[in-house]
Structures are given as structure tokens and as C-alpha cells.
């Protein structure tokens, strides 16, 4: 089984992006299901981490959600050799796990307003 390799990059507009390496050459790196890590000061003076997808899963065609890879030119990004902790990798997996489909309700029981008693 192939080990999953994650990469962190800083893109040309300063976003910190995390994704699974889907391919890499001397010129480019392709990340699957990339997410943005955004740090923001909170009211108590601490830094708060906000995590959201680079492209929202809900906008992808349901049958092609496995095709969410983005290629970044290495001449326009900063790369790193950081080792991520389990907490951030867990959040990455949570964001990239599709929501369970809503149960299909067949023949729902319909109640008339006239059936409601006083």
C-alpha cells in the first residue's frame, strides 16, 4: 500500500495550503483535495486556526468528486519539509470526507392541520 504524502505550500497570494501529493515534477506539484489553513487573531489575543477547502466539495459533480487535484507551479510557491501533527491531518481528513447522503424517506406520513386537536 502506498503511503499518503501530505505537503504544505504557501501560494503566490500568501495562503497556506495543505493537500495530498498527487504528483510532482521539478516544475510543478499537484495536490489532491487541498485545504487552506488560515490563522486569525482571536479576541483573547490567541491565534485561531480556521480550516476550509480550497474548492468546496459540494460544488463538484457527485460522480467525479475524486477529481479534485490542483497543480501549482513551483516557481510561484514556497514549499516546505514540515512534518504535520496528527491533529491537523485529522482535520484534513474530516474536511475531505464527503457527508453521508441524507436518508431517502418514502411515503412520509402526512398530517393534516385538521387532525391536530386542541
- The answer as to whether 105 is a domain residue is no
Does residue 116 fall inside a structural domain? no
Per-residue pLDDT of 46-60, as tens digits, reads: 999 899 888 887 777
Nearest to 34, CA basis, from 25, 24, 22? 22
For residue 1, the model assigns a pLDDT of: 52
Structural domain for 33, as ranges:
6-97
Consecutive H or E run containing 86: helix 86-95
Q: Please report which confidence band the pLDDT of residue 115 belongs to, taking 50, 70 and 90 as the band edges.
A: low
**pLDDT grade, residue 45 (50/70/90)?**
confident
Q: Are 34 and 77 in contact (CB under 8 A)?
A: no
Question: What's the confidence (pLDDT) of residue 31?
Answer: 96
| Within-domain flag for 118 | no
The pLDDT tens digits for 14-34 are 999 999 999 999 999 999 999
Whether the per-residue pLDDT at 43 is higher than 80: the answer is yes
Q: Is residue 102 part of a domain?
A: no
Q: How far apart are CA 16 and CA 5, in angstroms?
A: 17
Is residue 26 a part of any domain in this protein?
Answer: yes
- Of 15-19, 85-89, 100-104, which range is least confident? 100-104
* Domain assignment of residue 107, yes or no: no
Predicted TM-score (pTM) of the model is 0.75
Residue 111 lies in a domain: no
In a domain? residue 113: no
Instruction: Count up the domains in the chain and report the number.
Output: 1
Query: What CATH number did the domain enclosing 17 receive?
Result: 2.30.30.100
Amino acid at each position: 500500500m502506498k503511503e499518503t504524502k501530505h505537503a504544505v505550500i504557501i501560494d503566490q497570494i500568501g495562503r497556506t495550503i495543505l493537500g495530498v501529493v498527487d504528483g510532482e515534477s521539478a516544475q510543478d506539484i499537484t495536490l489532491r483535495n487541498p485545504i487552506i489553513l488560515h490563522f486569525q487573531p482571536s479576541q483573547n489575543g490567541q491565534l485561531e486556526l480556521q480550516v476550509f477547502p480550497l474548492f468546496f466539495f459540494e460544488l463538484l459533480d457527485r460522480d467525479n468528486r475524486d477529481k479534485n487535484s490542483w497543480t501549482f507551479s513551483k516557481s510561484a510557491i514556497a514549499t516546505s519539509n514540515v512534518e504535520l501533527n496528527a491533529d491537523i491531518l485529522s482535520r484534513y481528513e474530516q474536511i475531505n470526507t464527503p457527508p453521508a447522503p441524507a436518508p431517502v424517506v418514502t411515503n412520509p406520513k402526512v398530517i393534516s392541520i385538521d387532525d391536530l386537536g386542541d
